[in-house]
Amino acid sequence: MPSRIKYDKILYNCPYLDLLDKILMGEGRIKLAMDRSTLEQLYHQHFPKTYLTAYMVTGNAQLAEDAAQEAFLKAFINLHTLKEITKFGSWISVIATNCAIDILRKNKRILLTDSEEKYMDSNCENSPEVSWEQKETYQEVRKALFLLEPEDREILVLKYFNELSIQEIAELVSLPPGTIKSRLFRAREKVRKLLQPKGKRKRHINKVNKASST
């Protein structure tokens, strides 16, 4: 995502308080793990990063809202499985990433909505060429992420967006650090190839698809 896009403005348009009510009040049939005040505190503290994690994967405000809502509901129901509450932020980042991947796959959409394109226009430099190039780069990066295997996409988002260490990721997804390093290297290589000049990109996409099917 281009650095000129300010996360606080993306969050401003998300009705996160409404989502909290849906989770805590609209799901009365589900037994939640803690009292409401504790859950509200966790929600207010961690919603921004959770929502933006989902937005990083989907690139779409509505899909990110859906993923964040689903992630918090799952986290609140299963909160008793978390040994250290101080790790809630990292834990829900993994849940949100997986929820976003599932929702994006179901919706099969990776293009910006009209409102998001207008927002990007307003946050890019004045030059039309720069604005167009930034929007194209943003979409190309997300398209490349979408072509990755879910586990590779998860590793990239956790490492470079959530800025978790190899050890932290390994603990969260229950895999050895060496496996995380290998997947991270593989994912970076795939994205690098997919983002090469357009004349070469088709050949690399075919290679990735062929490798994924074997």
Please tell me what DSSP assigns to residue 5. Answer: S
Which residue ranges make up each domain of the chain? 7-213
Q: Which helix (H) or strand (E) holds 163?
A: none
170 close to 180: Cβ distance less than 8 angstroms: yes
Q: How far is CA 124 from CA 11, 127, 136, in A?
A: 18, 8, 12
Provide the 3-class DSSP secondary structure of residue 31.
coil
Q: Spell out the per-residue pLDDT of the chain, length 214, in tens.
A: 333 334 444 444 455 556 666 666 654 445 555 677 788 888 888 988 898 888 877 778 888 888 998 999 888 888 888 888 888 998 999 999 889 888 877 776 544 443 444 444 444 444 444 444 455 555 677 677 777 777 788 888 888 877 888 998 888 888 899 999 999 998 888 888 888 765 444 444 454 455 445 4
Cα separation, 173 vs 87, in Å, equals 13
Q: Is the pTM of this model over 0.85?
A: no
- How many whole angstroms separate alpha carbon 63 and alpha carbon 68? 9
* 184/190 Cα distance (integer angstroms): 10
